Amino acid sequence: MPTGKTPLPLLLLLAILLVAASGQAAAPKPPAFLAPLEADQFVKLKDVGVGYEIHVFENVPGVLGHTIVEVAADHVVVEDVAGITRTRIPFHAIKSVVVTGAGPPAERR
């Protein structure tokens, strides 16, 4: 016999599901200075003593060095040209991102 009341366990389950769904935050974005970096780009790393400079070569053929595997909110992962070693560089150890490209600056980022 229906009494018109919603069972308490059902309300509790619904409340838990709503709280869990609303608590999912979007993945944090990488810092703005890492904006020129994308997965599958060829880059060269330069150790400047207190961190790394990452040199991005756009429209420049024949550059050997590393390939960007991942750009996350707190790190960048690069892989050497042989595909043997992956290096995770925390963003606080990246001192600059240098973009070098052929062609007019308007065609670059």
pLDDT at 49 over 60: yes
Of residues 90 and 4, the one with the higher pLDDT is 90
Q: Identify the DSSP state of 36.
A: T
**In a domain? residue 7:** no
**In a domain? residue 13:** no
Give 94's contacts (C-beta < 8 A, 6+ positions apart).
33, 34, 51, 52, 53, 54, 76
Contact, 53 vs 45, CB < 8 A?
Answer: yes
**In a domain? residue 86:** yes
pLDDT of residue 1: 47
- List the domain range (segments joined by +) for residue 53: 32-107
**Cα–Cα distance measured from residue 56 to residue 44, given in angstroms and rounded to the nearest whole number:** 7
**In a domain? residue 80:** yes
**In a domain? residue 8:** no
Task: State the chain's mean pLDDT as an integer.
Answer: 80
Q: How many helices (H) and strands (E) does the chain have?
A: 1, 6
**In a domain? residue 73:** yes
**In a domain? residue 66:** yes
**In a domain? residue 48:** yes
